[in-house]
Amino acid sequence: MPPASPGAWRTRRANTAVHSRHQLLRIRPEAWAGVLDRAPGIPELAGDERELLAGWAERGWPVIVRRPAPGETRGISVGLPMPPSLGKRRIGLTVPVRAVARMFPLVALEEAAASAAPRMRPQIDAVLALGRRLALRPAVFGALLWQHLTGLSYLRPASDLDLLWPTPDRDIQADLLAGLERIDERGPVRLDGEVLFSGGAGVNWRELHAEIGRPAGAVLVKSMEGAELRCVRTLFA
């Protein structure tokens, strides 16, 4: 299943773009074995984990860009999660740029909604309505994303709905954050996720909601370079 919807942003060749957190990359199947051979810890995986991992790229499933770990200075730092039935282990890999076939945009919630559990649908519909009202298009990551991309069972009864929101204009910031709080309070699914800024840096929406009205409010900003505490006012300057 392709991770980009028809009519969404066009795919681009990976060697022409700067990579950012949450970005999806499709790896060339012929390069995948070499990627796994260079990855530490792969031999310690259980047999069923290794089997699923070995065929990952051949199935056309993507990996997701992550912040580099200490010592990862070459290639693109990426990851993928094993499904809960195999222990939910997060697999960290590094891939050379030449191994990347395509990079894709974020997957819109409206596209991934078809893969959601029925209990999630009322809140998903409410989130989509909020996005339409504010002219913002939320994307997904986490369990719903991987279930949608692979068709495997990633969602569990306790799974959050992980959302990514584009930077809201000043005049709708309060509406967005208050709207998310209302939808979250209705349950049963916990809303999690980030508001994204330029370059892929992100702030947890709950932290932003708690701090945005304070004169000296500060939030933890996560980016490819690391995480830093920043004054909220500087984020929307």
By CB atoms closer than 10 A (0-12, 13-18, 19+), residue 110 is middle
- The torsion angles phi and psi of 62, rounded to 5 degrees, stand at -90, 170
Give, in order, the Cα–Cα distances in Å from 54 to each of 1, 27, 59, 94, 177. Answer: 18, 12, 10, 15, 41
- The torsion angles phi and psi of 210, rounded to 5 degrees, stand at -75, -30
User: What's the chain's length in residues?
Assistant: 237
Query: 160, 169, 184, 192: which one is catalytic?
Result: 160
Q: Which of 186, 125, 205, 113 is nearest to 155 (CA)?
A: 113
Residue 160 is among the residues annotated as catalytic for this protein: yes
Query: 37, 125, 162, 171: which one is catalytic?
Result: 162
- Beta-bridge partners for 235: none
Please give the positions annotated as active site.
Answer: 160, 162
